[in-house]
């Protein structure tokens, strides 16, 4: 589904009581989940956008909007206009060529890190749209103070020959079984695939220390950029979802194919990260 538009929660005077998810300050203001500079690449006219929310207060709606007005009201103005706006500005040059074109490219380690950081921040914002966000607040705070990508975060990249829709994204809660100590609470992970123009990004937060493998069939369609690779990344990958719908199907299939091993299991069987 497309997350180009949203139904901002009508919080009114409660805005004053809410505190920023990144720093704890009040009041909060509206922050766009996806950068506004993407608007220039939207087809003319009103956008048909879809949004879904799972869990309590679940809904799935389609509505029209002008531009990408997918916003969330959980961030304070100093964060919004400060570090987040700086991060957006410093990511644009790295992201834009991959979003609007499909040129052959070799993405350096430095660019990979920038893309992974931006993708992680954006996935954090998409999580905040949910009634019960899944990412723990200390990870959001460390994003603000250290631009730290939470330990265990995985980011894969892919590409799609069709540029529209400009933004297709959703978030999925993942209940992880079989990877925690007996009796410990079951960890909850989070998956956020997003297609932005041609660029496909898949962000996964497993919430526990695991070694992850995906099915062999994905080796040609997605490439890991976080945790760090050891080399530049030839881009785009040879296998690609043909359009936005195929992208969503591929994202679902990728998530279902992920196999998580505890570090002990992985060491015992000689299993390495995909």
Interface residues with Zn ion (CB under 5 A)?
A: 20, 22-23, 25, 76, 79
For residue 213, give the nearest of 177, 247, 262 by alpha carbon: 262
For Zn ion, the closer of residues 27 and 150 by Cβ is: 27
> Is the Cβ–Cβ distance between 104 and 176 less than 8 Å?
no
As measured in angstroms, the least distance from the Cβ of 15 to Zn ion is 13
> Is the Cβ–Cβ distance between 126 and 168 less than 8 Å?
no
State the DSSP code for 146. H
For Zn ion, the closer of residues 79 and 200 by Cβ is: 79
Distance CA 260, CA 61 (A): 33
- 3-class secondary structure, 156: strand
For Zn ion, the closer of residues 3 and 76 by Cβ is: 76
What is the DSSP track for 59-128?
Answer: EEEEEEESS---EEEEEEHHHHHTHHHHHHHHHHHHHHHHHH----EEE-HHHHHHHHHHHHHHHHHHHH
For Zn ion, the closer of residues 82 and 187 by Cβ is: 82
For Zn ion, the closer of residues 23 and 52 by Cβ is: 23
For residue 67, give the nearest of 165, 193, 192, 1 by alpha carbon: 165
CA 19 from chain centre, in angstroms, equals 22
Distance CA 207, CA 150 (A): 9
For Zn ion, the closer of residues 20 and 200 by Cβ is: 20
Long-range CB contacts (within 8 A, 24+) of 79-83:
79/20, 79/22, 79/23, 79/25, 79/144, 80/29, 80/31, 83/144, 83/147
For Zn ion, the closer of residues 22 and 191 by Cβ is: 22
Distance CA 171, CA 52 (A): 9
């Amino acid at each position: 589904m497309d997350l180009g538009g949203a139904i901002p929660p009508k919080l009114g005077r409660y805005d004053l009581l809410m505190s920023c998810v990144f720093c704890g300050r009040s009041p909060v203001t509206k922050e766009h989940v996806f950068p506004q500079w993407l608007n220039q690449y939207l087809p003319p006219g009103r956008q048909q956008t879809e949004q879904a929310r799972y869990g309590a207060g679940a809904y799935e709606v389609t509505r029209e909007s002008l531009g990408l007005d997918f916003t969330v009201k959980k961030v304070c103005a100093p964060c919004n206009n400060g570090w987040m706006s700086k991060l957006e500005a410093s990511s644009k040059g790295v992201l834009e060529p991959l979003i609007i074109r499909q040129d052959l490219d070799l993405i350096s380690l430095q660019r990979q890190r920038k893309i992974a950081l931006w993708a992680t921040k954006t996935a954090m914002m998409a999580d905040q749209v949910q009634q019960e966000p899944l990412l723990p607040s200390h990870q959001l705070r460390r994003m603000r103070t250290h631009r730290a990508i939470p330990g265990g975060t995985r980011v894969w990249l892919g590409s799609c020959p069709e540029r529209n829709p400009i933004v297709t994204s959703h978030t999925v809660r993942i209940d992880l079984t079989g990877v925690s100590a007996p009796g410990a609470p079951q960890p909850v992970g989070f998956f956020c695939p997003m297609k932005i123009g041609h660029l496909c990004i898949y962000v996964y937060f497993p919430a526990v220390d695991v070694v992850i493998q995906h099915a062999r069939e994905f080796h040609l369609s997605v490439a890991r950029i976080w945790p760090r690779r050891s080399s530049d990344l030839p881009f785009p990958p040879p296998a690609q979802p043909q359009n936005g719908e195929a992208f969503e199907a591929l994202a679902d299939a990728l998530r279902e194919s992920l196999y998580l091993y505890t570090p002990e299991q992985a060491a015992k069987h000689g299993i390495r990260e995909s």
